[in-house]
Structures are given as structure tokens and as C-alpha cells.
Amino acid sequence: MAVLKVDNLSISFGGLKAIDSLSFEVEEKAIYGLIGPNGAGKTTVFNCISRFYTPDEGDIIFNNDIDLQKYRVHDVVKVGLVRTFQNVELFKSMTVLENIIIGQHSNTKGGILAQGLYLPKVRKEEKRIREKALGIMDFLGIRGIEHYPVAGQPYGVMKLIEIGRALMTDPKLLLLDEPAAGMNSKETEALTDLIRRIRDEYDMTIVLVEHDMSLVMNACERICVINFGAKIAEGTPAEIQDHPGVQEAYLGEEASADA
Amino acid sequence: MNLLKNKAVQYTILAFVVALIPLLLDINRSTLTLWNMVIIYAIIAIGFNILLGYAGQISLGHAAFMGLGAYIAANLTGNLELPFLLSLVLSGLIPMVIGLILGLVALRLEGHYLAIATLGFGVAIQQVFKEWTAFTNGFSGVRADNPVIFGLEISEREHYFILGMIILLLLVLFAHYLLKSKTGRALLAMRDSEHAAQAMGVSLFKYKLIAFAASAFYAGIAGGLFMHLIRFTEPNAWGITLSLNLLAMVVIGGLATIGGSIIGAGFIVMVPEFIKDIEFLASIKSFATIFTGFAMIFVIMFFPHGIARIGTQIKIALLNRRNSRVDKGKGGAPNGRSKG
């Protein structure tokens, strides 16, 4: 069953086609990679799926029957779709725990008056989401820093906090935008493990955009390669590595001249 | 003992202790008027801090909401003869509705443009105060009576101080709880990163409106209390000077802190009075305004988190210095925690 179906997606910015009739499907519980050279349009695809952009053409169907284009950007999280950002977008003035707790925003009960009066149900909710967040921090191995401001954390930890915040939304589909950016090879290895563990233990589908080939080849089961907004190849990591079009796209004319 | 660590309990105890001071000590009427003004400005500053400090939205027209609250209170108790407390609530609720409208404008504008638009809003409302004589009596101004609560007339400043303190406490507690739960997190998230906030399900539409509405409500209540304390008002009181003073209170006291709002209000109200007592400073024209301006620059440069957080700021600076030494001692690996 396809959890995410992108069909004939196109978007232009000022006459420049950023995505050109792109179609792909992501199966349930898959780890799916979206790769391509710089400026290929990978993040633009994410922005369309997560509703930051409205595509000119095409459909994005989530969970078989949810037409994502009918949802506003802050509503997609309610249907079970969440994303991270390329350059960590955390809430800098808040603590680590508060950052993660925000993930439950849509599921936190209690109106304005109830919150201002701090009624028992609000108290109970606060306790519930706090414990849930601490559980996620345990899972990510970042327990102990919950009351520190997020601003002073090392980059690798910030990336984990952002993933934690995404997990807090109870997603069915997690979109990771360059999770390995700025990490060394050892950290990337740990991240590969983590991505698999998230899929297995939280029972979700993961789509990731990534430049780091070791992560993509080790973690992903299927890969879609795009260049200039159009799909040039799709398949298993082994198939992609052998694909001539992919090598050309990455290495440019030099490679084709050598060949 | 644990109860004393609860911030709400601390606020409550502090409010009761301070409220009783004027009853125990012999303080003259004009000083008590000032103390009452501190309470009133603290109320509007807390609301303004929800807007500026938490939601990150600027407004240079909030004096209009306070003025509106004042005129509404005067009209409701004077012409319509409504009871004081009901009129006070309405003098908060009606500006709140108008605040929602200003919030709709804020959805379209950011930063400088929002500042200019709200400034225009403030000027326009002040003009309405001048022209709509049926409501405001123009430059002749309106008067109000001493508040009467359940048949009890409050004519002494000491008693008004207690009344103001109770209202301030209620509004402080409401803001405290609101800001430490879902709404507060959503507002801060929106301020820090609109994109990430949206991705987490925070509706910018909803929370910008909430911030404007809440700040207008607090401003209106402050206006209503002002009206019954001073018992006279005219349009010139509700201009840009007050809006800028409000900005100074929140910035000097501390953005995104309730305590800071109160400290800032105290600062802006009391400093001109202290300066009046120092003869050579008092001889300089508008020295208080000049001083406020410099204080604001000084605070922004050296204590960007405001007076309320100076202690925390120093503590964090010391902690960071110690941590960086410890890290060096361990021989690096700052990412050691990241391995799950």
C-alpha cells in the first residue's frame, strides 16, 4: 500500500521549472530516499508535500485518500505527516523539552480560558505530554538535557531534538530534509541506525532528502533520483549505483566524456 | 516548602504583602497615586509583553486600547450607570474585539510595516477621541466617580491600591498559566521560527489574533482602572508618548517575562519622580525622557533580556565559562551525547 503518492507534480518559480512532472510512490513502512545534485529540487518537493508551497500541477495523495492540497500548512501535521528542516529550525529561546513538547500542539487539549485558569484537565495534559516527550528523549539518547536552552546544544544534538519534535507529533510519515548535513562519518553511521530504529519502533514510513551517499545507500530501501526537477531514475540502492544516467547527473559531462 | 517554589504562590504572597504596605505605613496621597499608576501600567505592560515578548509582534499604537478602555469605563459607569466591576470587564472586552481587527492587519504585515501600520492605528484612534465628542467630550474631557463595589465606595488611595493589586494578581496568574501551557509555547514558537511552528501545527492566524486580542484586553482593563483612579481623561493622554513608554517598559523590564513587565512599569513610572527630587537633574528639561531613552539603549546593548533576567544572564555566563573549561579538560567530543 502506498502511503504517499506524488503524481505528475510541477511547480515553477518565475518561469523556471523547479519540479517537472514528477511522480513517485512510497510504500508503507519504507525508508525512501530522494536524491539529486544541488538545486535538483529535492527540498522543493518536500515543501510541496508539507504544503509550504502549492504546486502548479499534480496531486499529492497521502494514506490512499487524503488529498494534501486541501490542507493548510499547519493542518498537515494532524493527518500524520511531519517534516524536519534542512538547516535545523528549532525554537531557540525555549528549552529542549519545550521544543519537543510543541510536537503535540495539535493534540494538546484545553482552550484559552482553561489554560489561563490552569484547570485540572490542562494540568493532566501538561503531565501527559511532558512524559511523552521524556520518553522520546530516552529513545533518542538525549535525556538529561531537557531543561537546558536549546540554543547552546551541539549541532548533532540539535538535529536529534528536531527529530524528537517530529516524533512527538505521532506521524505516519516522517520527511527528513538532509538529516546528515554537517555530521561526521561516525555520527552519520549512528544516524543510519537511528532512522531504522525509528521506522521499526515507531512503525512509520520515512522519506529523506540527503546528499550523504553512505546514509542514503545504507538506510534507504528505495531511491528516487531527480535532476532539474525531473525523475531520472528510481530503484534499489544497487540499481541506482549502477545507473549511467545517475552518474552523469552527479559527475556531469566530465564523466560522460571519460566513459 | 515545595509550595513556596511554585511561582503562582510566590506571586500571590508578594501581592498580598505589597498590597498591605500602604495600610501599615503612613504614605502620602500623591506617592500612593504613583504606586497605583505602577499597577495600572504593569497590567498594560504584561499584555503588551504577550504581544511583543512572546508573539514577537510589534505595536506602536497600544495607547489607543488603554484610552478606549478609559472612555468606555467612564461612559458605562457614568451615562449607563453600570456597576463598576461589570464596566471594568467590558472596558477590557470591547478593546479586545478591536484588537482582533488590528490582529487581522498584522497577519499581512511584518516588522517595520507592522510598526508603521499600528502607529497609524494609534494616531487614528486618538483623532477619534478628539472628534467623537458624544463619547469622549473632546478636549473638555470626561470624568468618572470613585468605584463602588457591592455598595462600598473606594475613595482612599490605600484601598484603590488593594483593589488594583487584586486585579493585577488575577491578570498575572492568568497570563502566567496561559503562557506556561500550550498557548505560551505556540506564541514563542511562532516568534522563533514561523516555518517550524507551522510545521508543528501552530496556526499563525490563530495565535497572532490571540496575541493582539489578549494585549488589547489587558490594555483596556488598565484604561478602566486608570479612569477610576484619576477620574478624568482627555485625548492628549492617549498618544504616541504612552505607546513608546510602553515599549520602553517591556524592553527595559525584560521581554517575555511577567516579572519584567512589572519591573519595567515601576521603572518608567518611578524614575521621573526620583529625578524630580534631584535638583540639578530636574533643571534639565525633559531629563526623564532622555534618561528613559538612554536606559533603553543601555539595556538593549548589555542586558538584552531585561532587568528581570540580569541575574539569570550572569548565572548562564558563569556556567558557560565553567562548561567550556570542563569540555576542554575532557578533550572535546561535544557530540558525545548524540549517540543513542
**pLDDT tens figures, A75-98:** 999 999 999 999 899 999 999 999
Q: pLDDT tens, B31-77?
A: 999 999 999 999 999 999 999 999 999 999 999 999 999 999 999 99
Residue of B nearest to A78 (CA): B201
For residue B337, pLDDT over 50 is answered with no
List CB contacts (< 8 A) between A49 and chain B. none
Classify the complex by whether its ipTM is higher than 0.95, answering yes or no. no
Query: Cα separation of B161 and B44, whole Å?
Result: 16
Residue of B nearest to A190 (CA): B339
Query: Do A90 and B204 count as a contact with CB atoms less than 8 A apart?
Result: no
Residue of B nearest to A149 (CA): B316
Q: pLDDT tens, B280-307?
A: 887 888 888 888 889 889 998 998 889 9
In angstroms, the Cα distances linking B147 to A144, B32, B157 are: 53, 17, 12
3-state SS class at B258: helix
List CB contacts (< 8 A) between A94 and chain B. 185, 188-189, 192
For residue B328, pLDDT over 80 is answered with no
One-letter amino acid at B291 equals: F
Portion 298-327 of B in contact with A at CB < 8 A:
320
Which of B181, B200, B335 lies at the smallest CB-CB distance from A77? B200
What per-residue confidence (pLDDT) applies to A182? 84
Query: Do A112 and B178 count as a contact with CB atoms less than 8 A apart?
Result: yes
Per DSSP bridges, beta strands A173-177 and A205-209 are parallel
Query: Do B192 and A92 count as a contact with CB atoms less than 8 A apart?
Result: yes
The interaxial angle of helices B204-230 and B63-78, nearest 10 deg, is 50
3-state SS class at B234: coil
For residue B339, pLDDT over 80 is answered with no
CB-based contact, B196 to chain A, within 8 Å:
yes
The candidate with the shortest Cα–Cα distance to B139, out of B273, B269, B236, B206, is B236
pLDDT band at B333 (very low <50, low <70, confident <90, very high): very low
Q: Is CATH 3.40.50.300 what the domain over A1-80+171-259 is classified as, yes or no?
A: yes
For residue B203, pLDDT over 90 is answered with yes
Which of A92, A115, A190 lies at the smallest CB-CB distance from B182? A115
Query: Do A154 and B210 count as a contact with CB atoms less than 8 A apart?
Result: no
List CB contacts (< 8 A) between A52 and chain B. 195, 198
Portion 47-106 of B in contact with A at CB < 8 A:
none
Query: Do A145 and B183 count as a contact with CB atoms less than 8 A apart?
Result: no
What per-residue confidence (pLDDT) applies to A96? 96
Architecture of domain B2-330: Orthogonal Bundle (1.10)
Query: Do A91 and B334 count as a contact with CB atoms less than 8 A apart?
Result: no
Query: Do B338 and A72 count as a contact with CB atoms less than 8 A apart?
Result: no
Distance from CA of A155 to the nearest CA of B (A): 8
pLDDT band at A248 (very low <50, low <70, confident <90, very high): confident
Per DSSP bridges, beta strands B232-233 and B148-149 are unpaired
- DSSP state, residue B80: S
CB A7 within 8 A of CB A59: yes
For residue A228, pLDDT over 50 is answered with yes
Residue of B nearest to A198 (CA): B340
Query: Do B188 and A126 count as a contact with CB atoms less than 8 A apart?
Result: no
List CB contacts (< 8 A) between B210 and chain A. 112
For residue A238, pLDDT over 60 is answered with yes
Q: What is the mean pLDDT of chain B?
A: 90
Read off the C-alpha cell for A181: 548535513
Q: For A112-121, A174-183, A242-251, which range has the lowest pLDDT when averaged over its residues?
A: A242-251
* Cα B80–Cα B82–Cα B88 angle in degrees, nearest 5: 115
Q: What are the residue boundaries of the structural domains of chain B, listed by start? A: 2-330
Burial B86-105 (b: 16+ CB within 10 A, else e): ebbbbbbbbbbebbeebbeb
Query: Cα separation of B185 and A82, whole Å?
Result: 18
Q: What are the residue boundaries of the structural domains of chain A, listed by start? A: 1-80+171-259, 91-169
